[in-house]
Each structure stands twice: as C-alpha cells, then as structure tokens.
Amino acid sequence: MNELNDILMPKLGLTMTEGTISEWSIAPGDRVSPGDLLFVVETDKVATEITAEAEGELREVVVPVGETVPVGTVVGRWTGPGQGVPQDEEVQDESPAEASADPQLNTPVAKAVDETRVIATPLARRLAREHGLELVGLTGSGPRGRIKAEDVRAAAQAGASNTGAVQPQPDTAPTDSGQSIPASAMAQAMARRMVEAKQQVPHFYLAAEAEVTELLDLRGQLNAQEGYDKLTLNDMVLVAVVRALEVTPEHNRIFLDNQIVQFQEVDVGMAVSTDRGLLAPVIKDLAGCNVDEIAGRAHSLQQQVVEGSVRREDMQGGAITVSNAGMFNVSYMTPIINPPQSAILGVGSIREVFRPDDNGQPELRREMGLVLAADHRLHDGAGALVFLNRIIDALQQPHQLLRSRALLRRG
C-alpha cells in the first residue's frame, strides 16, 4: 500500500502564524526531485519558495492558490518523507479547527458529519475567546466562509453568540460607484497585520524637530570625497538610530508572548517602497559600524528588496524601523509599529523656518520633523524621550555619527 505523507504550511519566522499559498508549481501526479519548487508561500513580509527535500510524487493539493491557512496546516499530500498518513485510512486531526478548510478531507464521512469544523483566522479566534463567543454558527465573510476578526466584532456588537445572524457584505461585492479589485495575497496579509498591530500594540507618540544644518553640511563634505558611495539623509538617520541604540540598550528589546526579549546585536529596519507594497527589511549587526558600512548595507538591502531577491531572514528581527517620508514633502508622519518590534521612527521633510536666537533675533533654521511611535508595554514617556533625544543629539551634532560606541559612552 502506497503511503501518503502530509506537506505542512511551514513556520518561516518567529511571529508567523499563517501563510497564503500564492502558487503551486506542480500538479497532482507530477514527480519532483530534491530542490524542485513545490509551492510559494506569501506572508505580510515576503514571498518564500518551498522546495522538495527528497524525491516524491504529489498526489493531492489540499489548500488551493489564494487561500490563507495557519502554520502547521496540511496543504498537500505526497509520497515523499513527512508525517505518515496511510492512504485510505482514517485521518485524525488533533486540532480540527486549525486544519484544512475542506471538511471532506476528514474520513470517515459519517464521523465528520458529527464534528464541527470552524474555519477562522487566529485573530478571530482570540477575539471570540475574549468576548465569550462561540464561532459555531457565525457566518464568515472570508474565502470559503472563513470567519474573520470583523465578523466576530459584528457578532459581539449584535449580541449574537450562537446564531448565524451576522452576515457582513462579501469582500468582492461591487459598489455603486466602482468595481471591486481583488487584493493580492501579500496585500491582504499586510492589511491584516497593520490592523492587528494598531489594535494589539498600545502606541504612543512623541514628536520633535532636529536642526540639521550641520548634518547637511557634513553630508556634503563626505559626498564630495572621491571613491565613496554617496550618502543619503536616510543613511544619516539610520546611523543616528544605531548610535542611540548603542547607548540605550533598554530600547533594543521587544515584547513577545508576554515576555521581554533583549537583543544583543543592534539591528535596524528601514521602510522600502516597492511595487508589491511597503516592506521593511532589517539591516543586521550594526553596532560599531561606521557611516559608510551602514550606508553600504542599507543600499544593498534596499536593492534586493526592490528586485525581489531579499532573503527571508533579512525581513525579521530588530526592535525599531525607520520610515522616511521626507521625499514627499511631508512635515510629520505618525507610523504604525511593525510587530513584534517595539518602535518606529517617522521622518519628515526638511523645512526652513525662522526661530529666535539667544538674543531674540530671528534665525533661519533647517529642521527635520521626527515622530517616534513606541510600544507602551515596554516603554514609558520618559524613557522614550531619552531615546528620541539621543537621536536628535546625533543629528544636530553630526560628528557623533562618525564616532565609535566607546567614545559615545564616555560622553
């Protein structure tokens, strides 16, 4: 008897809870060799190719293209190695609520009729527990009736815990004024992640300005030197954040699974705009690096993101991201923290303004607007102010950007 084994949705990162099948490269009946592409998984951060580890034949596609399922869900079955599921024998799901969306995959059929299979997102399940609601009977508005967080919220508001009365409009319903355009799997994942981030992370914001006349002068001097790559203002901001993290390690931590995780290395994310949306790769191990090293790594990583060749591990880690909107003539921006990170720095454009000098006379200044968003579970206002002021000091006294970590600590 041929033995079929499960192909599971892999866990591709510390915080990954679900993934979307964006492509099956093989069909049932196709044979593969080690290294051959099986399927592509999209998360809110990146698309990842999943390859075969051994020879085998795909027998069944359980999760079709476009469907989002939790980590560990059976997405297909093949004759290659894996968790053995003998063909034509009963398949017992330890967690039926988190398994495949197709109830016919459970055998025998007679038993499946008595079992209740509820397909819901992880956030919907958590909200249902918080509101004391039963998912059984709720009508989901997602693909194949999947219950989403907004369905649970609507049920909670209506006081419906065991009825099917809540029926939100389908995602693809046309409007009177236009045509609905299906969102890509990555766009859907990013949208879910941003909603969850805003709802689950208690943000607070601090806004300030940095006087950057000396910074612009220093950047001009450095860029005038032969044999070096040109530095951008974003490079200088990244270096300022690195210098601040080097001397305030209490801000190089995150809140994850009800625990505080302290990072030893200094990693900083940067927002990069692509045709697939806004992505935030993380530049790794920057402690003690000079301006040119940090800028070089940033430029290289940005190019990989734009080309779509960035590695999965470069989309993870770090406690803070820099999001720069200055090129769009935006004075300030209040960004959303990218979980599980604990902070994000929004950078605005440089404005020329008159401020009174020490003698009360108007003085022309060039100021950059900064907004720091921080996770209140980890940081309080006083500590975040210290961290933001460290960044501002480095920008306003830009020669600090060229100093080593040891010199900064002595200062």
The string of pLDDT tens digits covering residues 193-207 is 888 899 999 999 999
The string of pLDDT tens digits covering residues 209-255 is 999 999 999 999 999 998 888 999 999 999 999 999 999 999 999 99
Q: Is residue 166 pLDDT above 50, yes or no? A: no
Q: Is residue 42 pLDDT above 50, yes or no? A: yes
- 33-44 average pLDDT score: 84
pLDDT at position 328, please? 87
* CATH C-level class of 203-410: alpha beta
pLDDT at position 81, please? 81
Q: Is residue 324 pLDDT above 50, yes or no? A: yes
Specify the CATH number for 3-114; select among 2.40.50.100, 3.30.70.2740, 2.40.50.180, 3.30.390.30.
2.40.50.100
Q: So where are the chain's domains? A: 3-114, 122-173+180-188, 203-410
CB 210 within 8 A of CB 368: yes
Q: Is residue 6 pLDDT above 50, yes or no? A: yes
Confidence class for position 174, pLDDT limits 50, 70, 90: low
Confidence class for position 169, pLDDT limits 50, 70, 90: very low
Q: Which of 266-270, 400-404, 405-409 has the lowest mean pLDDT?
A: 405-409
Angstrom distance (rounded) from CA 304 to CA 297: 11
The string of pLDDT tens digits covering residues 325-369 is 988 888 999 999 999 999 999 999 999 999 888 888 898 899 999
Query: If we measure between CA atoms, which residue out of 116, 5, 127, 106 comes closest to residue 55?
Result: 5
What separation in angstroms does the CA of 39 have from each of 18, 25, 247, 306?
15, 5, 44, 22
pLDDT at position 144, please? 54
The string of pLDDT tens digits covering residues 67-106 is 889 999 999 999 988 643 333 333 333 333 333 333 333 3
pLDDT at position 367, please? 95
Q: How many residues does the chain have?
A: 411
